[in-house]
Structure formats: C-alpha cells, structure tokens
Amino acid sequence: MRALLQRVKESKVYIEGKEVASIGQGLNILLGVGVGDEEEDIQKLVEKIVNLRIFEDSSGKFNLSLLDVKGSALVVSQFTLYANTKKGRRPSFELAERPERAKELYELFVKRLSEYVPTQCGVFGAMMDVYIVNWGPVTIMLDSKDL
C-alpha cells in the first residue's frame, strides 16, 4: 500500500463542481492499493502517518505529528501510485489491486485513520478535482512494504 502525504494548510475535493470533502491544516493523503495488500498494511501506514513528525514546532523543527497539531486528513484513492513506467511511454497498472478489493481496503484505511484524527475522503473511483495548499511544500511517499 502506498501513501503520498502532502502537508497542507487546506485541501478540498470536488466532483462535477460540487465540494464533497474539505479540511484545514493536516494531510492530504493520496492512497494506492497494490496487489497483495492486506489489513496489516493498513495498520502500519495509519500508525506511521499519525505519528510522523512533519509539522514544525516553535523552533521551526519537524517535531510535531498530525496528532500533536490536532490536524485532519483528506484521503483520495490513487491507483496511479502503482504505475509501472519501465517499458514504453504509456504506464501500466498491473501492480495496482483490482477495484473491488482496492475499494474494500481503501474504505478500511479511512475508517482506521478516522479512529485517530478527523478524516474526510474523496469518492473511490470517481473523477475528482483535488485542491491542495501544500504547506512548505512537504510531500512524503510511504510504502507499507518498507515499514
């Protein structure tokens, strides 16, 4: 499971011009589910995300977590995090989990994350406009297989 974290001042998701999710300070999380991902991958990622010290303290150092700053999370499904670009010019996505299983794990990830911090999400599989005000900018890639 892969998560691209973007520290944000605010983030919003729109579908067909209608706002469906919005947060203030926190993390915009693009989440990709890979073939073979399981519930253990979710727990590893959630614990890393909520405790990762990527928010600045009063000295300007990365010493505070999402929990410390009482931030929120906005989770957006993103199968393209599993793009394979080794051959040719068109990416393939054979490493991304099939949609039915990916949706199940995505929804479980959102549920588990919401046990720690206020969490909103986009709509799985929908065409979305995602607006972010990336703060820093700070963008970090996590892969559950590396945790």
Predicted local distance difference test score (pLDDT) of residue 136: 95
Domains of the chain, each with CATH number or no CATH? 2-142 (3.50.80.10)
Encoded amino acid at 104, one letter: E
Torsion, Cα 1 113 128 7, to 10 degrees, reads: -90
Could you tell me the pTM of the whole model?
0.97
Mean pLDDT of 94-104: 98
> Which residues are part of the catalytic machinery?
78-80
Mean pLDDT of 117-121: 98
Q: Where do runs of H (alpha helix) occur along the chain?
A: 39-51, 99-114
Predicted local distance difference test score (pLDDT) of residue 22: 98
Length of the chain: 147
Confidence of residue 42 (pLDDT cuts 50, 70, 90): very high
How many whole angstroms separate alpha carbon 17 and alpha carbon 14?
A: 6
Predicted local distance difference test score (pLDDT) of residue 60: 95
